[in-house]
Amino acid sequence: MYVLTVYIVKEVLKGSLVALILLLTLFNLFTFSDELKDMGGGYGLKEIFYYLALTSPSVFYELVPASALLGSLFILGAMGNNHELIAMRAAGLSVLGIIRAVMISGAILAFISVLVGEFVAPVTQRMAQMVRITAQGEQFHMDFKYGLWLREGKRFINVRQVVDDGHLADVRIYELDDQQHLHQALHADQATFNGNQQWTLSHIKTSDISTQQMASNTAESQLWTSTIAPNLLKIVAVSPNNLSLLDLADYVNFLKKNHQKSHAFEQAFWGRIVNPLVTFIMLLISAPFVIGVKRGVSVGERMMIGVVIGMSFNIFDKIVGHLGLIYSLSPSLIAFIPSMAMLAIAVFAILKLQ
C-alpha cells in the first residue's frame, strides 16, 4: 500500500504543479497586458517583467487551492480512465486509502503555500510596488486621494508621501483636546525615523488653537514620539490580502488600541489561517467527482467540473465576506463558513461512495 500511496502523492503533486504553472502564466499574461498601458518614462519592458516576477509569489499563494483542485481532477481522472484506480482497489487500497494519499499531497502543497504566503509574498509585493512607482518617477502612492490617515490617541496623522522605509514627506498632525476640539495643527515637510518610537520632523509650521486666539510658529526640526513606525505604514499601503499573519496581527492590534474599525483586516487575518484548509477541501472534494463519476469522462469535462467548483466557492466566499463586513459579523466565523460548507458537501459525497 505504501508504494501505491507514494505513487498517488507524486502524481497529484505533478498535476497540481502543472495546473499552477498554467494558471500563473495566464494571470501574468493578463497583468502584463494591463501594465503595457502604463509604459513610459523609466517604466519599460525590463521593469514590467521585474514587476511580474515580484508579484508572482502573491499570485502563487492565491492559486494553490484552485491548482490543487484542477491537478487532482486531471490526475485522478486519468487514473480512473486508465483503470488504475480499479486495479488499486483490487489490490486492497480502499477509497479512504486513495483519499488519504490525496490529503498527503495536500499537506505538502499547503506547507509550501504557507511558506510562500508568509515569508516571501509580503516582501516581494512591497518591492513590486516600489519598483513600479520608482520607475514611473513617483512617490509611494497610498491609493487615497488625500494620502494616508492614521489615528493615534487624540492625534490624527495625515501622510501624503512615503519616500522610503524611514522617510516621510508632507506630514500633517492634528491634535485634539479633552473636549474633542482641535488643539494643535502641525505640518512638516519631512519626517525621518530614528528608531525607538522617535521621529525627527523637519521644516515645521505649527498652529496652536484655542477659543481666545490662534498662534503660529515655525521650527527647523523637532522630535516626535509616536508608536507609528515605517513597517506599519508599509502594512497599510499594501492590500490586506497580501500581508502576512504577523503584519495583520500588528495592524489589527494598532487599530483596536486607537478605537478604529479593524473588521476588514481581522477578516483578512482569519482568511490567511483558513487558506491552507481550503487546499485540503479542494482536494477532498475532487475525489468523489472522480471515483463516483463513470469512466470515459473527458479531460475537458473534468476541468469544467473543477472550474465550476472553484468559481462557485470563490463567489460564495466573496458574498459571505461582504455580508460579514456590512453587518459586522464575527471575522473568524465569516472566514470559516464557506470552507465548512464545502467540507460538508465533500464529506457527504464521500460517504455516498462507501
Same domain? For 215 and 100 the reply is no
Quote the CA–CA distance of 128 and 126 in Å, as a whole number.
5
Same domain? For 6 and 83 the reply is yes
**Which of 179, 183, 186 is CA-nearest to residue 159?**
186
Same domain? For 132 and 270 the reply is yes
Q: How buried is residue 88: exposed, middle or buried, by Cβ count under 10 Å (0-12/13-18/19+)? A: buried
Residue 28: phi, psi to the nearest 5? -65, -30
Evaluate whether residue 70 is within a structural domain. Answer: yes
Each residue's pLDDT tens digit, 227-278: 887 777 666 656 676 778 888 888 888 778 877 788 888 998 999 999 999 9
Evaluate whether residue 232 is within a structural domain. Answer: no
Q: What is the pLDDT of residue 140?
A: 47
Quote the CA–CA distance of 306 and 102 in Å, as a whole number.
16
Higher pLDDT, 23 or 85: 23
Q: What is the pLDDT of residue 294?
A: 53
Q: What is the pTM of this model?
A: 0.76
336: domain range? Answer: 2-136+264-353
pLDDT-derived band at 167 (thresholds 50, 70, 90) equals confident
Q: What is the pLDDT of residue 139?
A: 46
Q: How buried is residue 110: exposed, middle or buried, by Cβ count under 10 Å (0-12/13-18/19+)? A: buried
Torsion-angle region of residue 10: left (phi > 0), alpha (psi -120 to 50) or beta? alpha
Evaluate whether residue 165 is within a structural domain. Answer: yes
Q: What is the pLDDT of residue 142?
A: 47
Same domain? For 12 and 114 the reply is yes
* Cα 103 versus chain centre, distance: 24
Same domain? For 129 and 20 the reply is yes
Highest mean pLDDT among 97-111, 150-164, 250-264: 97-111
Rounded to an integer, the average pLDDT of 73-82 is 84
Each residue's pLDDT tens digit, 303-340: 677 778 888 888 999 899 989 988 889 999 999 999 99
Mean pLDDT in the chain?
A: 85
